[in-house]
Amino acid sequence: MEDVDRTGFGPAGRGGRSLEDGPPIDRIESVFAVYETRREDDQLVYYGDPLAHPERVLRELWPVFHERGYDATLETRHGEYVLVAQPTTVGVDGVPWTNILLLLLTVCSTLFAGAFWYQIDPFAEPTAIWRAWPFSLAILGVLGVHEMGHYVMSRYHRVNASLPYFIPVPTLIGTMGAVIKMKGRMPDRKALFDIGVAGPLAGFVATVIVTVIGLHLPPVTVSEAVLQDPNAIEIRLGYPPLLELLAAVFDQPLYGDDPATGVNPVVIGAWVGMFVTFLNLIPVGQLDGGHILRAMAGELQETIAAIVPGALFALAAYLFYVQGHSVNTVAVWIIWGLLTTLFASMGPATPVRDEPLGRRRFVLGIVTFGIGLLCFMPVPVAIIG
């Protein structure tokens, strides 16, 4: 269904000078001279001439449409400028079957991975993998709370976002994490900062809780047969300062003299939360750290982001050539060096209104990056065998 008015004198809401659902035409024409309006399905379409630079036109009009529940873009069609307003929906539309399916698959994959941490052979005892549910719950808990932090703050700022998508992958932890899909543009730096910082802070709280619980659970004992097996592979996790600090505060040792004894797998779930927090706070592209730094530093963020891949490659080289770690051990930083190169090239999210942040948010951003440093470990995983 398409309504058109080229004369500019049609009735409001029927292809005339003013579309009922949109903002007042006088407000639009302060920066965009409209000579035709259309309603194309659920879109509001305005043909006209910009009265300022197109970026300024969009910066001026986007908030006006956002207040009416629309996401505005300025396009060109056949040589004409077109202002297109697309309805935004905030929240879940229908049953999120894809999210549910991925969650169930990730439950299965984390149970399977957790079985190994509990010294259960999932191939010999497939019905016993359910005993790894504390590990699975710890992993899904810290990842889910992190992403829901982003989701809740997106709803608060009326930015359309999906529910978390969990990623099931047969790794040591059974997943590659979780993500939410952001739609539309960020209104301003405050929204960009709040949405970016909410995930790491929420995940940090969940990780601390899971850590404290895991430290008070009994350790796992490796059987003598596994210790004597010449083909056995030893996996050593590097502990970040935050985990060592919590262990010291609650007087729960992470290290022991007995090589057959290891921390409870729930602590491994907390370790995952800390590692994910650090990775997400790397200040490049549209990672959480990229959002936060873009809101704090403006366009300077792109300069800082360009340095990050080189720093990660340098860390890998130092660990390999100076510390003598294996390629398998340093591969994580090589991979993330490549990933951050890609993320940096894609650029950060750009808010419509680009005013500086207030002091309180700026300080909170510094604190959040400090939390990220507490979650950093030079050698996350060392595989020996």
Could you identify the residue written with the tokens 């019905």? 127
Reading the block at residue 320, the tokens are 């390999």
Residue with more model confidence, 93 or 343: 343
How many Cβ atoms from other residues are within 10 Å of residue 241's Cβ? 13
Rounded distance between C-alpha atoms, residue 29 and residue 8, angstroms: 13
174 within 8 A of 304, measured Cβ to Cβ = no
Confidence (pLDDT) at 164:
93
Confidence (pLDDT) at 370:
97
Confidence (pLDDT) at 256:
60
Q: Is the pLDDT of residue 91 over 70?
A: no
Rounded distance between C-alpha atoms, residue 203 and residue 146, angstroms: 4
Confidence (pLDDT) at 195:
96
Instruction: Look up residue 63 and give its amino acid.
Output: P
- Taking the CA atoms of 25, 29, 32 and 35 in sequence, report the sign of the dihedral they define: positive
Residues whose CB is less than 8 angstroms from the CB of residue 107 and which lie 6 or more positions away in sequence, other chains included? 136, 140
Residue (of 101, 105, 125) closest to 115 by Cα position: 125
175 within 8 A of 238, measured Cβ to Cβ = no
259-308: pLDDT as tens digits: 667 789 999 999 999 999 999 999 999 899 999 999 999 989 999 999 99
Confidence (pLDDT) at 232:
64
Q: Is the pLDDT of residue 229 over 70?
A: no
245-266: pLDDT as tens digits: 999 999 888 876 566 677 899 9
Percent of the chain clearing pLDDT 90 (strictly above): 55
Q: Is the pLDDT of residue 96 over 50?
A: yes
Residue with more model confidence, 1 or 153: 153
Report which listed range, 97-101, 157-161, 229-233, is most confident.
97-101
Reading the block at residue 8, the tokens are 């500019």
The model's confidence at residue 309, banded by pLDDT at 50, 70 and 90, is very high
Confidence (pLDDT) at 14:
36
Confidence (pLDDT) at 141:
96
Reading the block at residue 4, the tokens are 């058109």
Rounded distance between C-alpha atoms, residue 384 and residue 256, angstroms: 18
Reading the block at residue 329, the tokens are 């051990």
Confidence (pLDDT) at 126:
86
Confidence (pLDDT) at 16:
42
Q: Is the pLDDT of residue 3 over 70?
A: no
114-145: pLDDT as tens digits: 998 988 888 888 888 999 999 999 999 999 99
- Taking the CA atoms of 170, 171, 173 and 179 in sequence, report the sign of the dihedral they define: negative
Rounded distance between C-alpha atoms, residue 198 and residue 196, angstroms: 6
40-76: pLDDT as tens digits: 888 899 999 999 998 889 888 988 888 888 888 889 9
Confidence (pLDDT) at 385:
61
The model's confidence at residue 328, banded by pLDDT at 50, 70 and 90, is confident
**Cα–Cα–Cα angle for 67, 71, 76, rounded to 5 degrees:** 130
Instruction: Indicate the pTM of the whole model.
Output: 0.84
Instruction: Look up residue 151 and give its amino acid.
Output: Y
Confidence (pLDDT) at 227:
60
Confidence (pLDDT) at 190:
95
User: Which three-class secondary structure state does DSSP give residue 73?
Assistant: strand
Residue (of 211, 182, 227, 230) closest to 348 by Cα position: 182
Residues whose CB is less than 8 angstroms from the CB of residue 237 and which lie 6 or more positions away in sequence, other chains included? 268, 271, 380, 381
153-179: pLDDT as tens digits: 999 988 888 899 999 998 889 998 999
Q: Average the pLDDT over each of 176-185, 193-202, 223-232, 330-339 and give the range with the smallest value.
A: 223-232
DSSP letters for 36-66 = EEEEETTEEEEEEEESS-HHHHHHHHHHHHH
Parse the chain into domains and list their residue ranges: 2-87, 97-384
Average pLDDT, the chain: 87
Rounded distance between C-alpha atoms, residue 116 and residue 229, angstroms: 16
Rounded distance between C-alpha atoms, residue 343 and residue 339, angstroms: 6
